[in-house]
């Protein structure tokens, strides 16, 4: 009988192949970076990703990232969830990018912690798409926050991130891309639009996403411990 882990690896291989085919079809030859969203995924499965051509993993909980960090080999980590200021210190030496910077106080804390270890952190500014329960700066406050981040010596602004609601209209993707164009035209090197997850990455790519964060379409539906 085939083991569960082997079955998961076979499934992952097939899903990565399908994902890459869909990206090629939607992206018209553009280079799209895949961040594998690894919430609830076991380290031994995450460690399979590099052999399949995916080298970035993203976590949205600090404790889960810490629990996997030593056990996973061959990937670089992005933090993609809401980040509390009191937990910044635990991840600044472990992740290569924080995608969810949405306030001056959070930017200040990342600056403070990165200065202590003499490193520069790549960051994305998270933009709120109109859902009060979600994180992110308002579109109207985006450029002010980008200006502030650009003034910090240990943060490097790389672009923006957005989590669009289920059923988002085409115009919402277009509006997010317009915000991105404002950023890319104002700040050197801010060339990442992280937009699109398993349910909408094709739409996001068609509307200019350069990075997607996919989980269930790679690993299957989440299985949460009770």
Q: pLDDT, tens digit, for every residue of 152-185?
A: 999 999 999 999 998 999 999 999 999 999 999 9
Residue 164, classed as helix, strand or coil, is coil
Assess if residue 56 is contained within a domain.
Answer: yes
The domain that contains 128 carries what CATH number? Answer: 3.20.20.10
Assess if residue 170 is contained within a domain.
Answer: yes
Assess if residue 226 is contained within a domain.
Answer: no
Residues 6+ apart with CB under 8 A from 173: 164, 195, 203, 204, 206, 207
Domain carrying residue 184: 4-219
- Check whether 46 has a pLDDT greater than 80: yes
Assess if residue 189 is contained within a domain.
Answer: yes
What is the rounded distance in angstroms from the CA atom of residue 126 to the CA atom of residue 183?
Answer: 12
- Check whether 132 has a pLDDT greater than 80: no
Q: What is the pTM of this model?
A: 0.95
Assess if residue 225 is contained within a domain.
Answer: no
């Amino acid at each position: 009988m085939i083991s569960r882990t082997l079955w998961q690896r076979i499934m992952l291989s097939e899903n990565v192949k399908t994902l890459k085919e869909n990206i090629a079809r939607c992206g018209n030859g553009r280079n799209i970076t895949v961040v594998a969203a690894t919430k609830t995924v076991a380290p031994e499965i995450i460690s399979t990703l590099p052999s399949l051509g995916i080298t970035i993993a993203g976590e949205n909980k600090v404790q889960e990232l810490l629990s996997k960090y030593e056990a996973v080999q061959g990937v670089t980590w992005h933090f993609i969830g809401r980040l509390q200021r009191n937990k910044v210190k635990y991840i600044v030496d472990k992740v290569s990018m924080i995608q969810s910077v949405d306030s001056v106080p959070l930017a200040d804390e990342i600056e403070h912690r990165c200065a202590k270890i003499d490193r520069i952190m790549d960051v994305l500014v998270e933009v709120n798409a109109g859902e009060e329960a979600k994180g992110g700066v308002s579109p109207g406050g985006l450029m002010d926050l980008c200006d502030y981040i650009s003034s910090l010596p240990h943060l490097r602004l790389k672009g923006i991130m957005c989590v669009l609601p289920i059923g988002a209209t085409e115009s919402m993707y277009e509006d997010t891309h317009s915000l991105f164009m404002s950023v890319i035209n104002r700040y050197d090197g801010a060339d990442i639009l992280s937009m699109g997850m398993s349910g909408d990455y094709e739409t996001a790519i068609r509307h200019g996403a350069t990075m997607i964060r996919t989980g269930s379409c790679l690993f299957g539906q989440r299985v949460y411990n009770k």
